[in-house]
Structure 1
Amino acid sequence: MSDFSQQAADHRKGLLITAIGGLALTIDIPLIKLSGGEAWSVVAARGGMTFLAALVMWAGLRLFSSDRTPVIPGRTGLLVTGLYGIAAISFMLAVFHTTTANLVFILAFNPMFSALMGWLLIGERPKPQTFVAMAAMVFGVGLIVSDGLQAGNMIGNALALFTSLMLSLIITISRKARTGMGFAPLFAAIVPCLVGLFMVGGPSGVVLPQPGWLALNGLVVIPVAFWCLATGPKYISGPEVAMFYLLETILAPVWMWMIFSEAPTRLGVIGGAIIVVALVTHSLWQLREHRRAARTLAPRHPM
């Protein structure tokens, strides 16, 4: 297989892995809400369950695979793990201090931040098509925010914006490292777990009326989602990874509407449709470009 064919295959793999992670992440907030717990109890329990799932996954990998790649690859891995821990805390607090729509719509600025950070920090200039897609998504987010931002809490909105910046920085650092960071967000879950336990006064202070929903979230959904999203930058660019975080922007409000009757507004639907079209169009364009390059530069038999 030629280098360009391998690049195309890796790009398709990256798109698939990241898409799975983005889709899984869309049910995170609904499962948190279904647990009925207060903020710090959920932060502690969700973090502890995710960390437990990470240990099980790591043990299984060591037992059934010959892969001995470091779980936390060097200082960069430690940095990414620490940043994931901070982002997890700010995200969870934002869930309880602003509306679901505001949270996911503000997080939708992730691709713009990732593109700018990638350009400034690692010299990965976005292609014009990426700028066009980002402009369309920013316009879609603007429609949504203009219709609903005033309904949220300013502290929660600020936490959401901080989380978006942290995720963009994480994606950029991971992209520069070009190594697997799949376990970094999972082991980072011990940070919010310990902080949450401190805030509620220990395990006895954790109150969860419906713990089953949070167990599904912490033991299955979050490990799958963040392992995939953290592995994506190994194969695709930062802005592309960030775009798949936008699936939560579109689908989380839909799940909240179906479960809790939080109906989306007309502008919300229009803005969401613009974001989805931009995301899908850009991804299809990227696949087409890689396939065209692979066909053009593939070795040919002499006549």
Structure 2
Amino acid sequence: MTDTTSRQIATSAAIPLREERIGFLLVFLSALMWSFGGTIARFITVGDSWTVIFWRSAWAAVFLLCFMVWRDGWRGMLKSFRDMGLPGIAVGFCFAIASTSFVVALAYTTVANILLMQAGVPLLAALFAWALFREKVTVATWIAIVAVIAGVAIMVSESVDGAVSPIGDGLALLIAFMFSIATVITRRFSSVRMTPATCLGTILAAGFAASQASTFAVSVGDMGFLFVFGVVNLGLGLAFFATGARLIPAAIAALLGTFEPILGPIWVWLIHSEVPSGRTIVGGAVVVTALLVHIGLEFKRQARPQRAGVTGVPSPN
């Protein structure tokens, strides 16, 4: 059993069952909020993606700043920004690039293509951690990584033969890459708090988009959708996750997170009749299956010490 697993089990043992259930709910709600991103974006009629990025990021930044002030107070908020250091800045840049690429990619490819590629982020992060820091990777994880790469290759193959824009698939891959790097940094520097780092990312994205946008003027209807896009989809989703993820095991948090790439394409299909291509469905199924199997094995591995006599640990169900 690794030191990380020991800490997770000790943490779980110290968390009351009621709080753990609240953690389950909050992390699920975060995935639910994030899954509406593509659907909300399809309602926005603004032609300039940079205008959308600016307003979405600005609204999210305002919400996250207010959330941190409410949670930690003014001094606590400022301290959290100071304490995140260079790792937090790096995570902020990764998030800024990923969130910006998401909005731009929506103009070139389907929501399903973007979200299903993101489903492989935990396994890609394991690959990067092995390549950069030589972290141990089990045989099961290697098999899952190969499956994810194969699934992504199936989805990307449409851009190779000209069926879809290579820009859309390229940006979707960039999003997955940035989130994977952010995950590795967060693992290596466990003191990095997600909320201020991500808030920094929204500020950076808004600042860069402001320099690129052709106009800031939008209709009242579009502003309403942009508010929801920034506050509910991005900001509230992050607040739910940041609050709930610390109350449950990492494997369960990752499992609940898979609801985003699963539900996201369904909402767009039901509301906007955006049907993913056959290759997207096949490749996405490979990616999601590999992730779910890997998470299930990881959860069983983490739970094994409980059967060996660890007492006082709430059931993960």
TM-score range, shorter chain: 0.7 to 0.9
Are positions 1:169 and 2:181 aligned together? Answer: yes
> Which residue pairs with 1:132 in the alignment?
143
SS class of match (1:210): helix
Deviations 1:151-187 (A, max 9, x none): 3322232222222221111110011011222231123
197, 203, 216: which one pairs with 2:210? 197
Aligned partners of 1:54 and 1:187 also within 8 Å: no
1, 7, 10: which one pairs with 1:6? 10
214, 237, 240: which one pairs with 1:225? 237
2-side partners of 1:41 and 1:4: how far apart?
A: 42
Q: Which runs of 5+ in 1 are unaligned?
A: none
Deviations 1:279-302 (A, max 9, x none): 3333232222222113325379xx
Number of residue-to-residue matches in the alignment: 297
> Which residue pairs with 1:182 in the alignment?
195
Please list, as runs of the form range in 1=range in 2, the aligned pairs for 1:36-115 lying within 5 A after superposition.
36-38=45-47, 39-63=49-73, 70-71=80-81, 73-115=84-126
2-side partners of 1:115 and 1:151: how far apart?
A: 31
Aligned partners of 2:252 and 2:299 also within 8 Å: no
The farther-off stretch of 184-193 and 270-279 is 270-279
> Which residue pairs with 2:36 in the alignment?
27
TM-score where L is the length of structure 1: 0.79
> Which residue pairs with 2:315 in the alignment?
none
Q: 1:110 to 1:243 in 2, by over 3 A?
A: farther
The farther-off stretch of 84-93 and 146-155 is 146-155
State the 1:66 CA deviation.
8.3
Aligned partners of 2:105 and 2:168 also within 8 Å: yes
Aligned partners of 1:141 and 1:275 also within 8 Å: yes
State the 1:77 CA deviation.
1.4
State the 1:120 CA deviation.
2.4
Q: In the alignment, residue 178 of structure 1 is paired with which amino acid? A: S
Q: In the alignment, residue 130 of structure 1 is paired with which amino acid? A: T
Q: 1:240 to 1:234 in 2, by over 3 A?
A: same
1-side partners of 2:7 and 2:108: how far apart?
A: 48
Aligned partners of 1:48 and 1:193 also within 8 Å: yes
Q: In the alignment, residue 153 of structure 1 is paired with which amino acid? A: S
State the 1:60 CA deviation.
0.4
Are positions 1:287 and 2:293 aligned together? Answer: no
> Which residue pairs with 1:160 in the alignment?
172
Identity %: 25
State the 1:29 CA deviation.
1.5
2-side partners of 1:113 and 1:201: how far apart?
A: 36
Aligned partners of 1:36 and 1:208 also within 8 Å: no
State the 1:272 CA deviation.
3.5
2-side partners of 1:10 and 1:221: how far apart?
A: 31
Are positions 1:210 and 2:214 aligned together? Answer: no
State the 1:57 CA deviation.
0.2
Aligned partners of 2:128 and 2:184 also within 8 Å: yes
Q: In the alignment, residue 24 of structure 1 is paired with which amino acid? A: M
Q: In the alignment, residue 170 of structure 1 is paired with which amino acid? A: A
Deviations 1:35-70 (A, max 9, x none): 222211111110110001011101101249989962
Deviations 1:231-257 (A, max 9, x none): 8599877x9977776544333222221
State the 1:92 CA deviation.
2.0
Aligned partners of 2:95 and 2:182 also within 8 Å: yes
Q: 1:50 to 1:266 in 2, by over 3 A?
A: same
1-side partners of 2:78 and 2:69: how far apart?
A: 11
